[in-house]
Structure 1
Amino acid sequence: MSTFGEVVLRSLCVLIGFLVLPLLVGQTEHKLMAHMQGRLGPMYAGGFHGWAQLVADGVKFTQKEDIVPLAADKPVFRLAPALGIVSYLLALAVIPFGPHLVAAGITGSLLWVLAVGAIGTVGTLMAGWSSGNKYALIGGLRSAAQLVSYEVPLILAGASFAMAAGSFSLVSIAHAWTPWWLLWQLPGAIVFLVAGTAELQRPPFDMPVADSEVVMGPWTEYTGLRFALFLLAEYAGIVVVSLLLAVLYLGGWTGPFDHQIGPFWVLLKGFFFAVIILWMRMSWPRLREDQLQRVAWLGLVPLALLQIVLTAAGVVLTT
C-alpha cells in the first residue's frame, strides 16, 4: 500500500518528466530539421548550436495576443487545447520505467493508455468544431475520420503484444519480453509506430492541419499560448508513443546493468523511436486524404491481423 508521500513523489516525478521530455523532443526536432534540411535559422538563437531556440519560441508565444473569435463556442474553444495535454499526462502516469518504478500501477495499463491517448485527438475535433471557421471545421472532420481509421490498427497491434505476454499490464509485457520478440512482433511494432504517428497527426499524416489546403485546420483560429499548448501536446504524444514502443517491443528497462540503470534504457529506447517519428516528418511528403485512408484500411489493418495470427501461433507452439 503506497503512502501519501510516495503518491505525491510519484506524481511529482511524472509531472516533471511531462514538462521536460516533450521540450527535449521539440529541441531535438529543431536540430534534426536544421541538419537534414539545411535550415540555418534554428542554429543561431543563443549562439552555440542554437541552444536557445526553444527559449526563443516560448518567448514568442507568450508575447502573442490570446484571441477568441466572436463566432466561436467559447467554453469548448478554451477547453480543447488542454484536453490533449491532460490525456497524455494520464497516459504517461502508467508507463513503467522499471519493475517497480511506475507512477500508477494499473492492472490493465495498456488498455488505459490506448483509451486516454485517444482523447487528445478528440481535443482537435473540439477545436475544429468550436472555432466558427470553415477551414477549422474541415480540419476537425478530417481529424475525426483519421481517428476512426487509425485507432483500429493501433488497438489490434496492442492486442498482439498483450496476447504474447498473456497480460494487459505494461509491466508484465516488459517482463515477458525476449529477444525473439524483435522478429516475432516486428509487424506489430511497425503498425503501432505508423498508426501512433497518424494518431498524433504528424507528417506525413498531417491532413487535418494541411496548411496548403485548410490554413492550419483546427488550429487556424488559435493564437499565443493556446496554440503553443497544441504543439506541446503533439510533442507529449510523441513521448508517450515512443516510450510505449520501448516497453512493448524492446523490453523497456531490459539491458546491461538494468537493475541500476533501468530507467536509462527506457529513455534511450524511447528516444530511438522518437527520432524515427521526427525523421518521417523531414523525409516524406504529406499524403492525400484518400492515400491516408488507404494506408490504414488496406495496409495497416491486414498487417495487424497477420500479426495477431502469428502471435496466436507462437503462443500455441510455445505452451
Structure 2
Amino acid sequence: MANFIRKGEWLEYHVSSTDQGKTIEEVCKTKLQLSGRMIQKLTRHRGIQINGKKSYLAYPLKKGDRLQIKIFEREDYGVEPEPIPLEVLYEDDHVLVANKPAGISVHPTEKNQRGTLAHAIAFYYQTKGLQTKVRHIHRLDKDTTGAILIAKHSLAQSILDKDLRERKISREYLAIVSGIPEPKQGTIDEPIGRDRHHPTRRRVSKTGDRAVTHYQVLETMNNEAALVKLYLDTGRTHQIRVHMSYIGHPLFGDSLYGGPLKGIQRQALHAAKLIFFHPFTKEKVEVEAPMPEDMVQLLSLIQPMATHGRVK
C-alpha cells in the first residue's frame, strides 16, 4: 500500500523526501485528500498525530516522519447484520467490491426493510471483527447483478464519491437484448425523465436529464437476440433499460420496458466490470464479476438458433 499503512484505528503515512518542509495541513489535503472540514473535525478530536504524538497543522514535516490520521474508528453498521451469503470480488483496508445477486436491493429504501446487500455486508464485517458503517458508492437496480463498490471508512467514501462525480469510476455492463441493434456499435444520447403514467417507470423525455449510453454488440443469435456490452457517461435510473427499449431492443425479462418474458425471471443485465482508482495508492483497479447463471442459461437457450458468431 505504498506509504500508507493501517495501525489499528490509525492510517499511517510515511513522509518521503518530496514532502520535506510541507506542513501537516498541506500533506493532509494533497496526499490524503482530506477536506478542510474533515481536518477541522479530526483536529478537534485529536485525530491527527505526528510520530505518535499530538501536533499542530503548521508543523513542517521531515523525511521519515509518521503522519497518523484516525479514520478507522468503530461505528454503527447503519443496518442490522444478517447472515446473507456474500461474494467478495476485491477487498483491502479501504474498499470492498461485492458481487450483488439478483432480487435484493443495495440498501434499505423503506422503514424496517431487511435482506438487502447492506445487511449482508454488515454481517460480513461482523465476522471479520470490523465495525464500520456500510457505505455504497453507487447503486444497482434490485434485479441487476454484478460488481458494486463499497467504501470501508468515511475518508475513502469522500474520495470515491468525488471520483464518481468526476466520472473517474467506470462500469461495463452486459445485457441480452431482443433483436440485433444496428449499427452494431453506437451511442444513445437521449434525455430520461419520469413517466407520468407509472410510479417507477422512466422514459425518454425532452424535459428529462441528459443520459448517454454507449453499446457494442458482442454476439448475435439469429434475429432473435444479441449479447451487448454497454457503458455509461451518466447514471440515470434504469438508463440502460430505457435506452435499449427506446431503440427497439428491450432487455430479455424486462417486463417494465417491454422485453421478451422468456428464459429468465428478471431483466438480463449484469455489471460485469468495475474500474476505479484506489483512493490512496491511485493505482488503477479493475474488478470483473462473472456472468450469473441465469444469463448463461438464457444464452444457451437462445444459442442453438445462432447464425452469426461473435462480432469482431
TM-score when normalising by structure 1: 0.23
Higher strand share: 2
Of structures 1 and 2, the one with the larger relative CO (CA 8 A, separation 6+) is: 1
Q: Which is greater in Rg? A: 2
